[in-house]
Each structure stands twice: as structure tokens, then as C-alpha cells.
Structure 1
Amino acid sequence: MHNVGRELLAGVTLLAIAVPVNIGYSQIAGLPATAGLYALIVPAAIWALLVSSRQLVASPDAAASALVASSLGGLAVAGGKDYATLALAQAIIGGVMFFACAFFKLGFLANFLSKPILTGFVGGLALDILLDQVAKMLGVKIHSGEEFLVKLGELFTGLPTVNPWSVLISVSSIAIILLGRRWLARVPWALVVLVLWTILDVSAGLENQGVAVLGTIQAGPPKLTWPIIDWSMWLALIPSAAALTVVAMGEGLLVSRAYGAKRDYPVNLNRDLFAFGAANVAAGASGAFTMGSSTSRTAAMDQAGSRTQVPALVTAVITLLLVIFGTGLLEHIPSPVIGAIITVAVVPLLGFGEFAALWRLRKFEFAVAAVCFLTSLLLGPIQGILIAFVLALVNLAKSAADPAVDVLNAQGVPQGSILPVQERGEVTAPGILVIRFAARVFFANASAFKDAVEGAVLAAAPAEVRHVVIDCEAIGDIDVTGADAVAATKQWVLERGLSFGYCRVRPDLARVLSEFGLDAGSTIYGTTRDAIARLSAADAAQGGGAQP
């Protein structure tokens, strides 16, 4: 019973966090407030019933909301009926893509979105969102569908129209949320400021002082529907739906896996992809918009002691009652309050700490994050996600093209990388050189394999090398280009009167060597010590002569 009570209380906490934030996200996306609220009902309930993760919270998030706005802005007018219909269709297309990813077991693709890529991509979107919220908090009108630099110009030119009441509401709301979290972290301070300023608006008539409010919200439960649009529009939505799917998959699966490991329960990433698909189709069929996951709400539920999806179901039930009976309570919410709540939620997504750590630890990965940041901010999220994938592949190729290459000692332990070996001329044992190449041999590092082996042999020439053995412990596979490089290296070694062999070869790699004919005329040894013992014995039997 104690656990049930804890889960129900966590559901109330989730509701207090989700309602004001989802209203803000729907505004970012250019959709009515009900779109954000409806996302908490049918889609969230279906997600809770299907997902393997016990804690991951599904919801539209800030990055997805900005991506929805930027991708649909050129196809329809934000706030219009056609725009909302496109948002529904976009969610359904994303759901189908998630189903496909689950069917083909593509959960591993989430690994391609590294931390630097996600940091830069989400940071760029967060800054774009923040600009809209700053304008809202100042009471300055800008066109949210415009490019970042255009909106920045509109904000500066609109500064003479700043509304003092809007500034007061915003600053006080941010102060209350931040200070309240420090003193009483369990209190839903976002809901507190929302209720407080709504009451003041109703009692003091802040709208008469030029303060914008949420306005009329259509009452009623979500209705099952299906977007009716031309096939050309369905096709036009595919790129943005794909980008949304990739971002949600990258962040959601990583968080799901992290909390599963933290709380010691199994997760099935492909089942989670299926749950994402079902939630997004449900969103498109019930008046919501694209569903992703919320890292901040997942963390909040973890801190509240929740270890199940019960809070999502509690939130769905209470939100349903709210949209049926309580929308009148939401109409007088001042827009600056929503701006303040979203600002507090979005600022951590800018990733200042992550950028500083990347600069300190890995300059190349900092550059990757910076490029993703600027691309998503200045060119748009679709271009940003494409650049992110290209950079992921470049980063992967860069790492694979320059693997560690070591000369082993008699115990099979690396003595050092090839460069110092070339300077010192080390060998494994008298007349024997065992070289470990720490990667699969493929087109990106084939030349590196050849250069490393030849360099080690030439550097060790004064030691009268008679045998070259490739340690294959870290070689998982060899492609056609890699096989050509190994064959050319083997030929180069044999032409110098040296023997060429392999050690620590796994059965699957042995089959690859056989398929390419790379084992012909070469001996495959068990271990480094086995190779040294057999080759030394053969040299002794031949009076120290070279092995052909």
C-alpha cells in the first residue's frame, strides 16, 4: 500500500509539472493549448501500457515542439486548422517510422547520436525557443515562425514596446521557481506561480494593463479523428517526421537504458520503439502532436520514488477531467508566466556545462557540438539533424581510421604504439615481431594497417626480424579493401624472406581469412607465447635461418 500511495502522489506531481509545461510546448509548436493537454491523455496512457521502461515519461518536449513549428511554418499558417491537421499527420508518419524501426530492430541507431551531437543539436533548438520566450516575457510581439536572426532583429526593434507588468510577472515567476526549488524541491513551483498569477489576473484585471493571456480553450475530451490531407502533403511531411523520430529515438532510448541500469531492471529498446510508435499514432488520432520523451520529468519521477508507469496513468485521468470540466480555469493564465516556466525548463538544455567539458576534454568533439548547434539554430532543425548524422559518420570514420597499433612483448602485453616503436626498433622476441592491430581492417584504415606493419618491420631491421605475426584479438572482421591491404602487406613481408602468420584468431575471423585466401602459406598460432615458442624452436632447428 505504501508503494501504491507513493506512485499516486508521484502522479499528482507529474500532473503539476506537465500541465503548464505542455501548454507552453503547444504554444512553441504553434498549436492550441489543448494539443499539449491531449498529449497527456490517450498517447501517454497507451505509452504507459506498452513501454518496457518502468520510468521513462513520454511527452512532447521543447526540442520537438520547436522542430514542429519550424517544419510546418512553411506549409501552413501557425494556429490555423490546416496547420493543426498537418501536425496530426506528422505525428502519425513518425509513429509509422517508429513501428518500422521496432520491426527491423533498429534501436542500435540511437547510438549514432553521440553526446556532442545531441548537446549541439538540442542546444541550438533551445536557444531558438528561448528567444521566443524572452519576447513573451517582455510583452514584445515577434513572429515565432521566422528564422532566428529575423526574430532577434524583431525583438530588438520591439524593445520600446516592453510591457512593465509582463516583465514583473516573468521575473517574479522565475525567482519563485528557482528559489522555491532550492528550499522545497518537492513543491511544484511552476504550478504555484501559474495559479498565483492567474488569480491576480482575474482579480486585478492585468489584461487591461496589456498583459497577454492564454485565451479561450476549447472544452471537451479528445476526439478520435484522422487527418485528411493531399498525398503531396503527406510526402512533404516525411523529412520532418524522420527528424523528429531520430531525435526522440536518440534521447528516449538513451534515457530508458540509463534508468534501467540505474534501478537494475531490464529494458527492451525495440519494444520501447514500438511504444513510441503507438503513442505517436494515438497523438495524431486524438488531437495532440509528436510525442518524444522528457528527461526532466523522468528525473523528477525518479526523485519522487516512482518505479512504475502509474504516474502517467494518474496524469491521464486527471487531465481528462480537466479538459472536460476545467478549461475555464486556464483561459486567464498570463502568457509571461508560461514564458517564465518554459525558460526555466529550457535554459539547462543550452548545455553550457557540456560545451565546457567538451572543450576541456576533446576539442574535435567540441567542434562537432558547435557545428550542430549553429546548424540547427541558423539553418533549421532538419538541416541540423542531417549535419548531425554526417558528423557522426565522420567521427566514426576518424576513430576507426586511426586505431592503436602495438608491438607485443613475450607475455603478449603492448610495449607501445607503432610511432615510438619505429624510433626504438622493438621486437617481441629475438627475430620475432608480433603486432596487434586494435580494430577491424576495412576501407578507412586499410592503408594504416599496411603502413604500420611495414614501419615496424623496417624499424626493427637491426634486430634481424625473421618472423612477422599479426595478433588478431581485436580484429573483428576484414572487408574487401582491408583484405587487399593484408594481402599486399603479406606479400611485402614474404618478399623480404620473412614468414607471415597470425595468432589469437577467432573462428569467425578464421573463416574470413580463408575466404580471402589470406591464410594460404601462413601459420595460425594460438597465443603470442605459442607463436614465440614454435618459431623459436624452428629457428633453432634450422640454426637461426629465416623461415620461408
Structure 2
Amino acid sequence: MRNWIPLIGQLQDYDLRQDMKSDLNAALIVAIMLIPQGMAYAMLAGLPPVMGLYASTVPIVIYALLGSSRQLAVGPVAMVSLLVYTGVSGIAEPGSEEYIAYVLLLALMVGVIQLLLGLLRLGAVTKYISHAVISGFTSAAAIIIAFSQMDSLLGTDLGESKNVFIIMIEAVQNIGNIQAETFFIGLASIVVLFLMKKYTPKIPGPLTVVVLSIAAVQLFNLEQTGVEVVGEIPGGLPGLTIPAMSADAVLTLLPIAVTISLIGFVESYAMAKVIATRERYAVHPDQELRALGAANIGTGFFSGFPVTGGFSRSAVNYDSGAKTGLAGMMTAVFVILTLLFFTSWFYYLPQAVLAAIIIVAVYGLIDVKEPKHLWQVKRADAVTLAVTFIATLAVGIEAGIITGVGFSLAVFLYRSGKPHMAELGYLESEGVYRNIKRFPQAKTDDDKLIIRIDAPIYFANMAYIEEQLRHYMLEHPRLTHVIFDFSSVNDIDAVAVDELEKWLDHHGSRGIRFYFVTVHGPVRDIFKRAGWDEKFAGSLYYRDLNEAHKAASSDS
């Protein structure tokens, strides 16, 4: 039971006095933060604000039971909300009943995909998404999210486009139509949120601007001057809903469902792992997938939209003293109480304040240090980040992430297709063999060539290896012995074995002898199955370069 419901293990040594107090304190703070954020992210997703509260109830409880992280705060997040809008707005009008039906189906699909990945133990699949891709995509998406809130912030219609450049042009063209009171409220909210985040981090900034803005709207009747307010929010708990399914709808939503499943999990697991490392406990990727999958299935059946673990709320949850998943359950209880008794309080909440909350929340997702770091360490990774960033801004969210992943895989294939190879020479001062390019003083023999291949050998890089060997051999016209250092070769495929054998036979017929040093067990097994033990008896399996060099010298 502990394996399937980790909360049981978390409560094994639970201190009802101290731990309960810590969990309750964290839950209250996170709920205060989550309620306005949830409504804001629902609007970002093109949904009624109340759906943000619905998505902050059942899914949180499910994750608290099944998640292996004790402090991860699951719920609506900006990135996933934007992905929902991007994927569904093309097939239905945002906010319409048809749109909501598609979103519920999307949440169910995301949940099923994540659950299946977890049950099949495929949590490691996300390792193939480069960190550079995630960083570039996240930064670009954060900018898109911020610009998508410009119409609410300025109080004027800027069109339906999510393209940053089009929004900028529309904003300039409509500068004379800005609603002054709305803009002032939004700008003041942004300033207050930033200042409170910096100077009074323990006081929840979102709640502060919500309370102050509601009071200002009521006091000065600002809704009558053109300030858009949230309006009536339905009270009560979400009812059980059955997402409408059809083959056409499932196929249409499948690409965005896969994208949300993977991006949501990567964002969630990254934060869970950071906290778990600090607290010295383990989080399991497959269990996290199952928990997030179940949570998203739950949100699909209870009028929510796709959820995942959020960076900022999880950090607040952890810093506020959360000890177990009970903190998440208590957060859900506070949201439920709000739905039952306090939704009317948000009637006069300006939409510009929700826009400000979103803008400040996503500001921290823009990473300006990572491109500099990658450029210094590995420029190919920096280029991957830049390609993903530019593609996401220029052609959109889905195309951007696909472009980034495709480019990173192309870079990987390019690298693996041209493995590092080094000619080695004897360094007398250390008594070892070194790369002669790095150690020009290392001695070489005119009749002997020592080559180290620093990668697995397979069909895609064998031609390059042969080409490099030809260049090395041309530099040694008196060559009679070639020694292969296989200490860095941990795998070789059948095609490469066949090609290498042809190369050995060709040059062996011209009087050149070959020696293989430090051949690892898995590669040795492949050589044996290929019959090399008989074909090249006496040439394989030298323990070190010194032994092979002596054998070559004695054969001269």
C-alpha cells in the first residue's frame, strides 16, 4: 500500500502537534496564493475563473495521496494553461460550452497518457528532452504568457493572436484606446507584487493586491468607468462531469495532450527533485507520473483543466514548513470552503489584477543566465536553446517545442556521427599514453599507430571512423602496426562489426597487423559471436597499451 499510496508512509511517524501545525500553516499560505492564481490561470486558458478553483480541489487531494513528493504543490500553472489555450482555441471559441467540453476531454487524455507512462515505467522518457530545449521553451512561453495578458492590462481589445510581435504592433496601434483606470490598476498591482516579493516575501502579495483592488473598485465605482471585473462566480462544489469523447476530437487533441503530459511532468518532477534532494528523501519518476495522471483524470471528471506541480507554489509550500501531503489536502479544503462560502467576494475583482498576477508569476521563468552559461560551457547547447526560444516566439508553442526537440536530436545525431578520436603517443615523464594534440611531447613511432575511439561504434559513425583512420594512415607511410584503444568503446553494433572486419581484412592483406586493447565485456561478447576469436586470434584483448606495444615491437 505504501508503494501505491506514499502518503501512508509519510504519516508513519507523523507528529500531530508539530507536523500538523506546520502542514496547516503551509496549506493556508498556499491556498491564499492559489485562489487568485487559479482564477487567473483559468482565464489564461480561456476558461471561466471558477474552473481554476475547481482544478484546485480534487486533483490536489489525489496527488497528495499518490505523489512521492511531500511538498510539491499541484494545481493550475501558467505554462500548462497557455498550452491548453493554444491547443483548444483553434477548434472552439474560448469560454464556450464546446470549448469547455474539449478542455475536459484534454484533461482526461493528459491524465491517461501520464498514467500509462507511469504504469509502463517510462518516466525516463523525459530525459531525452534536452535541458537547453526546456530552458529556451520556458523562457519564450513566459514572454508569450505575459504578452497574452496585455489586453486585460491595457483595457483594450488587441485581437486573438498569441504571437508576441503581432500583440506589440496591436498595442502600439491601439495606444489611444487604453482604459486609463484599468492600466493604472494593473501597473500598480505589478509594482506592489514585485516590491512585496522582494521586501516582504512572507506576506502573500497576490492576496494583498486582490483585497486592495476589490476595495478600490467598490469604493470608487470603477466598474462603471470601464474597468472589467470578474463578475459573478458560481458557488458550490464542482459536480461530476463525463467528458464527451469522439475519435475526431481525440485525434485533434492528441498532439497537445502529449505535449502537456511531457512538459507538465518535466516541470513538476524537476521541482519535486530539488526539494527532495534538500530534504534527503527519494522521489520516483514513475510514481510521479502515476500521481499526476490520476490527478488529471480527476480534474477531467470534476470540471477542471490540466494541472501539474508549480515552481513558485511548491517553493512557498516548502518554505512555509509543509511536512507531508496533508498540506496539499488542507489546501484543497481551504479552496472548497472558498467555493462554498466566499465566491461572492470576488465579484469586483478587476481582470487587470489577475493579469498582473500572471505576469509577475511568469517573470521568474525567464532565465537570462542559462544562455550565457551554456555559451561558455557548450555552444551547441546554447544554439539549441536559442533555436527553441526563437521558434517558440515566432511560430508558436507547439511548433516551438517540436522544433527544439527535433533540433536537439539532430545535434545529438551529428555529435554521435562524428565521435572524438585521438592518436596516442608515449609520455615518458608520466609513463602513460596521451593524445598527441594535447601533449605534443608524447613520442610516436613511424611504423606504429595508436588510436583511441571515444564513443560507441555503430552504423551511423562507422564511415566517419574509417575516414579518420585513412587520414591517420596517410600520415604514417611506413605504417605496419595499428593499435586500437577500446577503453572508451562500450558498445558496437553488428553493422559496425561487419564494416570494421572488412576494413581489417583489406589492410591486413597489405601487411598491416592490428591489436585491440581494453575491450570491454559487452563488446568482447559481440566480437565472439561474430567469430573474431578465431579470425583474429592473438590480436584481441590486450590488457593495456604497454602490452600491445611490446607485442607490436616484437612482431616488427
TM-score by length of 1: 0.90
After the TM superposition, which residues 17-96 of structure 1 pair with which residues of structure 2 at under 5 Å, given as runs? 17-96=33-112
Partner of 1:335: 351
Between 21-30 and 290-299, report the one with greater CA deviation. 290-299
Preserved CA contact (<8 Å) 2:197 2:205: yes
Partner of 1:202: 218
Q: CA deviation at 1:147?
A: 4.3
Q: Deviations over 1:248-292 (max 9, x none)?
A: 133223333333333321121111111111111111111111122
In structure 2, distance between residues paired with 1:360 and 1:508: 36
In structure 1, distance between residues paired with 2:291 and 2:431: 48
In structure 2, distance between residues paired with 1:62 and 1:357: 26
In structure 2, distance between residues paired with 1:454 and 1:192: 71
Query: Are positions 1:13 and 2:29 aligned together?
Result: yes
Q: Flag structure 1 segments of 5+ consecutive residues without an equivalent.
A: none
In structure 2, distance between residues paired with 1:62 and 1:451: 50
In structure 1, distance between residues paired with 2:501 and 2:169: 62
Instruction: Kindly provide the amino acid, as one letter, of the partner of residue 76 in structure 2.
Output: P
Q: CA deviation at 1:333?
A: 0.9
Partner of 2:523: 509
Q: Which one of the candidate residues 282, 305, 308 is aligned to 1:289?
A: 305
Query: Are positions 1:137 and 2:153 aligned together?
Result: yes
Partner of 1:521: 536
Preserved CA contact (<8 Å) 1:42 1:283: yes
Q: Deviations over 1:162-188 (max 9, x none)?
A: 122122212222222222222222111
SS of the residue corresponding to residue 252 of structure 2 reads helix
Instruction: Kindly provide the amino acid, as one letter, of the partner of residue 504 in structure 1.
Output: T
Q: Which one of the candidate residues 308, 330, 336 is aligned to 1:320?
A: 336
Instruction: Kindly provide the amino acid, as one letter, of the partner of residue 496 in structure 2.
Output: G
Q: CA deviation at 1:394?
A: 0.9
Preserved CA contact (<8 Å) 1:133 1:339: yes
Preserved CA contact (<8 Å) 1:214 1:330: yes
In structure 2, distance between residues paired with 1:201 and 1:193: 12
Partner of 1:498: 512
Between 26-35 and 378-387, report the one with greater CA deviation. 378-387
SS of the residue corresponding to residue 484 of structure 2 reads strand
Q: Deviations over 1:33-64 (max 9, x none)?
A: 12111111101110111112223322232121
Say if 1:169 and 1:237 are closer, same or farther in 2 by CA, change over 3 A.
Answer: same
Instruction: Kindly provide the amino acid, as one letter, of the partner of residue 330 in structure 1.
Output: F
Instruction: Kindly provide the amino acid, as one letter, of the partner of residue 397 in structure 2.
Output: P
SS of the residue corresponding to residue 17 of structure 1 reads helix
Q: Which one of the candidate residues 385, 398, 407 is aligned to 1:369?
A: 385
After the TM superposition, which residues 119-198 of structure 1 pair with which residues of structure 2 at under 5 Å, given as runs? 119-144=135-160, 147-198=163-214
Say if 1:402 and 1:259 are closer, same or farther in 2 by CA, change over 3 A.
Answer: farther
Instruction: Kindly provide the amino acid, as one letter, of the partner of residue 383 in structure 2.
Output: A
Instruction: Kindly provide the amino acid, as one letter, of the partner of residue 434 in structure 2.
Output: Q
Q: CA deviation at 1:91?
A: 0.9
SS of the residue corresponding to residue 419 of structure 2 reads coil
SS of the residue corresponding to residue 525 of structure 1 reads coil
Q: CA deviation at 1:373?
A: 2.0
Q: Which one of the candidate residues 439, 442, 454 is aligned to 1:438?
A: 454
Preserved CA contact (<8 Å) 1:69 1:145: no
Q: Which one of the candidate residues 489, 507, 511 is aligned to 1:475?
A: 489
Between 343-352 and 327-336, report the one with greater CA deviation. 343-352
In structure 2, distance between residues paired with 1:151 and 1:255: 32
In structure 2, distance between residues paired with 1:392 and 1:288: 34
SS of the residue corresponding to residue 201 of structure 2 reads coil
Say if 1:426 and 1:251 are closer, same or farther in 2 by CA, change over 3 A.
Answer: farther
Preserved CA contact (<8 Å) 2:473 2:479: yes
In structure 2, distance between residues paired with 1:67 and 1:375: 15
In structure 2, distance between residues paired with 1:469 and 1:296: 56
Between 316-325 and 140-149, report the one with greater CA deviation. 140-149
Say if 1:391 and 1:518 are closer, same or farther in 2 by CA, change over 3 A.
Answer: farther
Preserved CA contact (<8 Å) 2:76 2:308: yes
Instruction: Kindly provide the amino acid, as one letter, of the partner of residue 515 in structure 1.
Output: R
Query: Are positions 1:105 and 2:121 aligned together?
Result: yes
Q: Deviations over 1:406-453 (max 9, x none)?
A: 344568956227x679x98953x8965443211111233222322333
Preserved CA contact (<8 Å) 1:24 1:339: yes
Query: Are positions 1:459 and 2:478 aligned together?
Result: no
Q: CA deviation at 1:509?
A: 1.6
SS of the residue corresponding to residue 460 of structure 2 reads coil
SS of the residue corresponding to residue 227 of structure 2 reads coil
Preserved CA contact (<8 Å) 2:425 2:435: no
Q: Which one of the candidate residues 353, 368, 372 is aligned to 1:352?
A: 368
Partner of 1:238: 254
In structure 2, distance between residues paired with 1:430 and 1:224: 81
In structure 2, distance between residues paired with 1:145 and 1:30: 13
SS of the residue corresponding to residue 524 of structure 1 reads coil
Q: Deviations over 1:335-375 (max 9, x none)?
A: 11111111111122233332343344444323322222232
Say if 1:504 and 1:302 are closer, same or farther in 2 by CA, change over 3 A.
Answer: farther
In structure 2, distance between residues paired with 1:32 and 1:7: 30
In structure 1, distance between residues paired with 2:323 and 2:448: 58
Q: CA deviation at 1:146?
A: 5.2
After the TM superposition, which residues 535-546 of structure 1 pair with which residues of structure 2 at under 5 Å, given as runs? 536=550, 539-540=553-554, 545-546=555-556
Instruction: Kindly provide the amino acid, as one letter, of the partner of residue 382 in structure 1.
Output: E
In structure 2, distance between residues paired with 1:395 and 1:263: 36
Instruction: Kindly provide the amino acid, as one letter, of the partner of residue 47 in structure 1.
Output: Y
Preserved CA contact (<8 Å) 2:228 2:352: yes
Partner of 1:380: 396
Q: CA deviation at 1:311?
A: 2.3
Preserved CA contact (<8 Å) 1:454 1:489: no
SS of the residue corresponding to residue 436 of structure 1 reads strand
Q: CA deviation at 1:108?
A: 1.6
SS of the residue corresponding to residue 397 of structure 1 reads helix
Q: CA deviation at 1:221?
A: 0.6
Q: CA deviation at 1:124?
A: 2.4
Q: CA deviation at 1:198?
A: 1.1
Say if 1:221 and 1:479 are closer, same or farther in 2 by CA, change over 3 A.
Answer: same
Preserved CA contact (<8 Å) 1:52 1:271: yes
SS of the residue corresponding to residue 69 of structure 1 reads helix
In structure 2, distance between residues paired with 1:492 and 1:261: 55
Q: Number of aligned residue pairs: give it.
A: 535
Between 336-345 and 380-389, report the one with greater CA deviation. 380-389
Q: Flag structure 2 segments of 5+ consecutive residues without an equivalent.
A: 1-16
Say if 1:403 and 1:370 are closer, same or farther in 2 by CA, change over 3 A.
Answer: same
Q: Deviations over 1:109-135 (max 9, x none)?
A: 211222221122222222221112222
Preserved CA contact (<8 Å) 1:139 1:212: yes
